[in-house]
Amino acid sequence: MKVDKLVVDTIKYDAGMAVVLTIIVNLLIFIYIRCLITAGRKIMSGKAVIKSMRNGAFSGYVRSVSRAKGTFETTQDITKAKKYTNQVTLEGDIDFCTGVGFQRGYVFGYDFI
């Protein structure tokens, strides 16, 4: 039985694409694992604080976060703000505060101190 050249070329192309896709998937897995490792490290610049904005205006710094009560408190004094040295904890509290405060017009970010 004679095998058509187009069929052979298609099989070679599919095999080549499988190799390329495998390399891409392995690279993405490597990047994901690297991000997980990096996420647990301390913030390199030192400490950070969460800033809150309400309806487009600065409203203060996050002083405390209570997941049990579903609340957060803010202060105008940066020295009384909660200090963060870990990126994971910082981003977790930003996500929590955003979930709690978004309906009331709050938006959160962070600054290094």
Note the pLDDT of residue 19: 76
pLDDT, position 26: 76
| Model pLDDT for residues 61-108, shown as the tens digit of each residue | 999 999 999 999 999 999 999 999 888 899 999 999 999 998 889 999
Alpha-carbon torsion (46, 77, 90, 55), positive or negative: negative
Cα(6)–Cα(9) distance, integer angstroms = 5
The pTM (predicted TM-score) of the whole model is 0.61
